[in-house]
Structure 1
Amino acid sequence: MSLATLSIPRKLAIDLWWLPRALILGLLAFIIFGPLLNLLLWTVAERWYFPHVLPLDYGFSVWSRVFSPRGNAMDSLKNSILVAVLTVIVSLALAIPAGYALARLKLPLRSLILLTFLIPQAFPNLPVYVNVARLFYQIGLNGTITGVVLVHAVHGLAYAVWIATAAFSAVDVELEQAARSIGAGPLRAFRDVTLPLAMPGLMASAIFVFLESLDEFTGSYFVGAPDVNMLPLLLYSAGAGGNYQIASITALLLLIPSIGFMLIVERFLKADVLSKVGH
């Protein structure tokens, strides 16, 4: 038997290894993109019911109904963007000085301070927001933009402070010292040297806070509803009422900025910043 004859079964065995790999990749693609495809179909489905696999009629009449003056989508979208932007401003206003102090100063309880910002993520949201709503109702913040922003900022600080601390830690302290040695004051050295170098990490922090606020449901429901309409609240009410077209359109409005901003975060958060998280 020739050497070429023996090599044929071996090549066939190597080629057959691609079959289970292709099946696994196909299954993963179906798990990831199947729900997204179903979401997109519901956004243009006029009539779709069991046992039909695909919609019977396609159109955009639901879109016009959602964005009509009588619909709540535009009002919810404006409130969601306004709350998310204000949450970013409040979170970064607190996170930038806190992150700089945690990165530069030798604080005795530094790890404990960083851990404190994770406490809101450690407890179930439902009982916390029920008590927050009761407190806000007593002081007149329930059902207001200010109350919703404060609740979102508490969650956003976990991302803002941790990423800001990592961003400032990634900036070489000798660059700041060099600026100080040629006559720059502490504030100017921070403004002209440290802050620009840490800006990519701070931008990523702002995006994380924005997306967290945009998708936040529990705090928006207990503190803002029914006076402050938000996209997650519209999504919940539409889905609970069986209005899957409206729910899918609302979910798409939440999904598009999330995908776009995450691509930007991937560009901003470099390995040198990520390596400083928690240090």
Structure 2
Amino acid sequence: MSTAAIPETNAPGFRLDLWWIPRAIVLGLIAFAIFGPLTNLLLWTVAEKWYFPHTLPLEYGFSYWGRVFSPRGNAMESLTNSILVASLTVVVSLALAIPAGYALARLRLPFRAAILFAFLIPQAFPNLPVYVNIARLFYEIGLNGTIAGVVLVHATHGLVYAVWIATAAFAAVDAELEQAARSIGAGALRAFREVTLPLAAPGLLASAIFVFLESLDEFTGSYFVGAPDVNMLPLLLYTAGAGGNYQVASITALLLLIPSVGFMLVVERFLKSDVLSKVGH
């Protein structure tokens, strides 16, 4: 019997690579961990009837969408309040972060690292006891249950992203460009407005998006400071989920998910590596 037709595995140019098997398994598990919950979320948004032990919904439809967006569903009011609060939080955060970020990036301030670290303090403590005391204080001064009170609470967390990214964005702009504008007669304010600010704009846009998304998803501060007078999407999501109404909860979660995914794509487009390399420096 001739052996000429039998391939030799040790021949040059032929190598059996079995490493694709564990890599494929790992990638499959990661994909399942990411897209499995999202698929379950999407199924719940169109499930009319779904209960154990059935793997898939028994009936599909959009009746719960109509219920969510009905006048009694409070979805439109919650969506409007959430967008309003998030937009105002961005305005307040950037109004403080732009001068602070510019000063931290350009000036040789004493204790600069300590100042940057101070903006992380709101993230260092558990939210629950902090917001309980803030709610008590706001109740005494008339800010509890108001849009202004919720915006102030959200801005304390938004400043973390706003200041750090704004500092990195201004640090990524070559100071010599601003000095060149000053050397041909531009004042400090004009050089900042026409040279530094446009060049730092992509980083500031990314900062604004992070603050917007943080505010949009904030639950604890919205609950203790805003509820029940200020209805917001995270509060509607919590109420529906706690009541076992998974269709309404899933639809609300989808409303929160869509802008998050869209804005993160924008962040990936504008927040370049030269800006990220300046964070914390």
Q: TM-score range by the shorter chain?
A: over 0.9
> Alignment identity in percent?
82
Secondary structure of the residue aligned to 1:7 is: coil
Q: Deviations over 1:228-276 (max 9, x none)?
A: 0010000000000000000000000000000000000001111110010
Aligned mate of 1:23, from 5, 10, 25: 25
Tell me the amino acid that sits aligned with residue 131 of structure 1. Answer: N
Matches within 5 A, 1:58-97: 58-97=60-99
Please, which of 34, 43, 46 is the counterpart of residue 44 of structure 1? 46
One-letter code aligned to 1:278 = G
1:54 partnered with 2:59: no
Instruction: Please list the CA deviations of residues 122-150 of structure 1 after superposition, one character each: whole Å capped at 9, or x if unmatched.
Output: 00000000000000000000000000000
Instruction: Please tell me whether residue 184 in structure 1 is matched to residue 186 in structure 2.
Output: yes
Aligned-pair CA distance for 1:17: 2.6
Query: Which stretches in structure 1 are left out of the alignment for 5+ residues?
Result: none
1:120 is aligned to: 122
For each residue in 1:100-132, what CA deviation from the matched residue of structure 2 results, as whole angstroms up to 9, or x when unmatched?
A: 000111001110000000000000000000000
Alpha-carbon offset, residue 37 of structure 1 = 0.1
Name 2:277's counterpart in structure 1: 275
Which of 240, 243, 252 aligns to 2:242? It is 240
SS in 2 for 1:70: helix
Give the AA of the match of 2:270: F
One-letter amino acid of the structure 1 residue matched with residue 263 of structure 2: F
Change (3 A) 1:13 1:162: same
RMSD: 1.5
Q: Structure 1: which amino acid aligns with 2:275?
A: V
Match of 1:5 among 5, 8, 16: 8
- 1:168 maps to 170
In 1, the alpha carbon distance for the partners of 2:29 and 2:211 equals 32
- Out of 211, 216, 221, which is 2:213 matched to? 211
Amino acid at match of 1:88: V
Cα distance in 2 for partners of 1:236, 1:146 equals 22
How far apart, in 2, do the equivalents of 1:115 and 1:277 lie? 12
Matched, 1:256 2:258: yes
Matches within 5 A, 1:104-115: 104-115=106-117
1-structure distance, mates of 2:242, 2:71:
22
Say whether the 8 Å CA contact 2:9–2:15 is kept in structure 1.
no
Question: 1:19: Cα distance to partner?
Answer: 2.1
Instruction: Please state if 1:149 is matched with 2:147.
Output: no
TM-score (norm 2): 0.96
Separation of aligned partners in 1, 2:141 and 2:95: 24
Amino acid at match of 1:224: G
Task: Please report how far the alpha carbon of residue 11 of structure 1 lies from its aligned counterpart in structure 2 after TM superposition.
Answer: 5.1
Q: Which residue of 1 aligns with 2:100?
A: 98
Aligned residues: 277
Any conservation in 1 of the 2:222–2:235 contact (CA below 8 Å)? yes
Q: Runs of at least 4 residues of structure 1 off by over 6 A?
A: none
Unpaired stretches in structure 2, ≥5 consecutive residues:
none
CA drift of 1:12 comes to: 7.0
TM-score normalised according to structure 1 size: 0.97
Separation in 1 of the partners of 2:235 and 2:65? 18
1:202 corresponds in structure 2 to 204
Distance in 2 (alpha carbons) for counterparts of 1:120 and 1:253: 27
